[in-house]
Each structure stands twice: as C-alpha cells, then as structure tokens.
Amino acid sequence: MKNGIGQDEAPDRRGRSKPCVFLDRDGVINHDSADYIKSLDEFVPIEGSYEAIARLNRAGRMVIVITNQSAIGRGIIDGSTLERIHERLAEEVGAAGGHITDILFCPHRPDEKCSCRKPEPGMLFEAAARHGIDLSRSVMVGDSAKDIECGIRAGCKTVLVLSGNGRQALESLKNRGISPDAVFPFLRDAVHWIIRQ
C-alpha cells in the first residue's frame, strides 16, 4: 500500500475520531478508461468533482482518495508518473477551494491477493489509523462494486455514483443482494446527502 499527498491530522479537540469522505478516483473524480489512466493528458476531471470536494471540505469533511492502481503492478505506468498525476489532482482541487488530506493507492495486481486492493478494506484501515478517522461515521464513494464492498467491510456508509462503471456496478450489486446506502448520478449530486450523514 502506498500513499501520496498527505498531512497527519489528529483526532478533533474533543478527543473524538473524525468522520471522513473516502473517494475512489477513476470514474468518481476523473473519467475512467478501460486502458488505464497512464499520463497527465489522460487524467480528465468529471465536471463538478473538484467543486464537490471543496463543498465537502467547507462542511468540515476530510477527503481522502482511495484507489486501486494495478497499472503499476502490470508495468503499464511507473510510480513517478502516478505521483505527478496525484500532484496535479491535489493542485487542481486546491485551485477549486478544496483540499485532499491524503491519497492512498494499491499498486498490486488482483492475482497478488494483497490486503489493500479493494474490495479488501486495508487502505481504509490504514487511513483511519493514520488520520484518527471514525470509520462508522465515514462514507465511501465509488463507481464500482469493489468500492461499495470495501466501504461495507470497513463499516462505512456507502454511496454509488453512476459515472464511470456505476450502472454496471449497480446491477452486479443487486444480483448479489448488496445495497449501497445511496445512489447518485455524479459525485456533485451526492454532496448534500453525505453532509447530512
């Protein structure tokens, strides 16, 4: 498990662990690709996603990105390129008035059977330990069945967005009797619901 942008943040002044909004990256913040996001040119934000992060921050929500990046394990992209993509993401969110506290990614291929690749909840547990997060008060937002399963396994509320692979994920989850707590077209549409949690 690797991390990118980040600052340590302790529990709040009353000593309680804090809530967090965990965001999948591809298909939630930026447009996804079946061929992976391999360069800065291929990293294209979904309209309104940066502003949505800023709105969450203004409402007092920490935002952490949790993303599978098996393209590294497959040799399709190197770590320095991924770091540049995440630096740009953090900069552009900052320019929109928001802040990403941390970016955690899993570089492993599915066959490596690691504990951090979603749907395993390892990255959420790591983020919770690092930043003093109360997972039971947190929300995982994703566009795949793996994202929703990961959030459920970690004890979070879950939001499925229909951007990216969301429509296929919704059908897959229904067939397996798994239900996210809420479904919205895009991240920007989910912000009000998330804040109310």
Residue-wise pLDDT tens digits, 123-172 = 999 999 999 999 999 999 999 999 999 999 999 999 999 999 999 999 99
Does pTM top 0.85 for this prediction? yes
Number of domains in the chain: 1
pLDDT in tens, 143-153: 999 999 999 99
pLDDT at 16: 62
Residue 22 domain boundaries: 2-8+16-196
pLDDT in tens, 49-106: 999 999 999 999 999 999 999 999 999 999 999 999 999 999 999 999 999 999 999 9
Residue 15 has pLDDT above 80, yes or no: no
> Whose CA is closest to 112, among 155, 68, 150, 146?
68
Give the confidence band of 119 by pLDDT, cuts at 50, 70, 90.
very high
pLDDT at 17: 83
Residues 126, 146: Cα–Cα separation, whole Å: 17
Active site residue ranges: 24, 26
**CATH code, 135:** 3.40.50.1000
Q: Which residues, in sequence order, are CB contacts of 121 under 8 Å at separation 6+?
A: 150, 151, 153, 154
